[in-house]
Amino acid sequence: MKTSVLRRAALAFVTAAACAGASAADQAPADDQVVVPQVDRRDIQPPRFPSNDFEIGAFVGTYATQNFGSSVVGGLRLGYHVTEDFFVEGVYAQTKVSDEAFRQVLPGGVFPTQKVTLSYYDLSVGYNVLPGEVFIGGKRARPAAFYLIGGVGSTRFDQQRRPTFNLGVGYRVFLADWAALQVDMRDHIYSLDLLGKRQSTQNLEWTGGLTVFF
């Protein structure tokens, strides 16, 4: 008899405890998080592109004049970045072109003197096709961009001034928020009639230079 009474009392106690726990759970705030995840967050540093819109720089390289060989070229550039993708650029450059090869077969050569100055200016529009990063060593990365560029301008060569089209590609690597190194390959297209007939010429240029943003 006593055992039966004890069992009933124990059953009543368990039932009351269960009901109290359920009631407490119902009264608990809905936004309480029972399990707090222990996740180690990684610090991610996205590429930083300079916010400065203007750029000025200098470059040097090789200018391959069709029919007259290659020579050293140097120039200045001034640019404005309209958006993160598009920019405009003005360039002025000079080189010395020689007709030494023609003087070996033609008395007096092609030019009045053995070397004449070729100068040009261009106004171009560029588009950053592949902005990203370039890794220097195993731990350092710098923002970079591969771009397409093209425009119009004028070339002065042996007293002739000709309208010029230019097309090319380039690669820019930012050393800091205010400075970048860049390499360019461009084709300057214009017509000449130095060799007895007018013809369209392809004049390839390879350059490298330093650009400062402000």
**DSSP strand E in the chain: where?**
54-65, 69-81, 86-98, 115-136, 140-157, 160-176, 179-192, 199-213
Q: Write phi, then psi, for 4 (nearest 5 degrees).
A: -65, -40
For residue 65, what is the domain's CATH number? Answer: 2.40.160.20
The per-residue pLDDT for range 7-16, each reduced to its tens digit, is 666 566 656 5
The per-residue pLDDT for range 151-199, each reduced to its tens digit, is 999 999 988 899 999 999 999 999 988 999 999 999 999 999 887 788 9
The per-residue pLDDT for range 70-107, each reduced to its tens digit, is 999 999 999 999 998 999 999 999 999 999 888 888 88
Say whether pTM exceeds 0.75: no
Which domain range does residue 73 map to?
54-213
Instruction: Establish if 147 belongs to a structural domain.
Output: yes
Instruction: Establish if 109 belongs to a structural domain.
Output: yes
Instruction: Establish if 67 belongs to a structural domain.
Output: yes
**What is the count of structural domains for the chain?**
1
Q: What is the DSSP letter of 113?
A: S
The per-residue pLDDT for range 6-57, each reduced to its tens digit, is 566 656 665 655 555 555 445 545 555 566 667 677 776 666 654 679 999 9
